[in-house]
């Protein structure tokens, strides 16, 4: 027996996004005509670049190995989360969100390394987590 339902059409919006956007616009908290503040504009720019890199990185041609393909896609996905968290650290001011962003960076780096080790690959080189604002990160203090 054939289904009489028509296939769902993709609108490009998540169902809740349209509702949330409408609620925010209706409440007067967001107006499309207002340009973002400079600090927010920098964050939005970095975040959009991170999303673009992540989406491109997840377009993995099949390698013949489900495991390798999974790790390749998830590595790009996790790196996207790291990049977005780094943008939050550079531009955000909420200390609770900064701590969460730091945790995201560490956890996602650990998961990337675990996936690579599971495939017998070498993990990426260790790097310090970017947990300080740029002005603090450029000053090194040597203690005797």
106 close to 93: Cβ distance less than 8 angstroms: no
Which residue spans within the chain are E strands per DSSP?
Answer: none
Q: Write out pLDDT tens, residues 13-70.
A: 444 444 334 444 444 455 566 888 887 999 999 999 999 999 999 999 999 999 999 9
pTM of model > 0.75: no
Alpha helices in 3-63 (DSSP H): 15-27, 38-57
């Amino acid at each position: 027996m054939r289904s009489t339902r028509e296939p769902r059409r993709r609108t490009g919006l998540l169902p809740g996004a349209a509702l949330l956007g409408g609620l925010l616009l209706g409440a007067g908290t967001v107006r499309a005509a207002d340009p973002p503040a400079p600090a927010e504009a920098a964050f939005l720019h970095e975040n959009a670049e991170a999303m673009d890199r992540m989406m491109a990185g997840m377009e993995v041609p099949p390698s013949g190995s489900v495991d390798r393909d999974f790790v390749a896609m998830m590595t790009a996905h996790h790196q996207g989360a790291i990049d977005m968290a780094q943008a939050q650290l550079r531009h955000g001011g909420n200390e609770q969100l900064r701590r969460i962003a730091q945790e995201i960076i560490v956890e996602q780096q650990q998961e990337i390394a675990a996936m690579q080790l599971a495939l017998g690959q070498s993990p990426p080189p260790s790097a310090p987590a970017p947990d300080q604002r740029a002005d603090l990160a450029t000053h090194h203090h040597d203690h005797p």
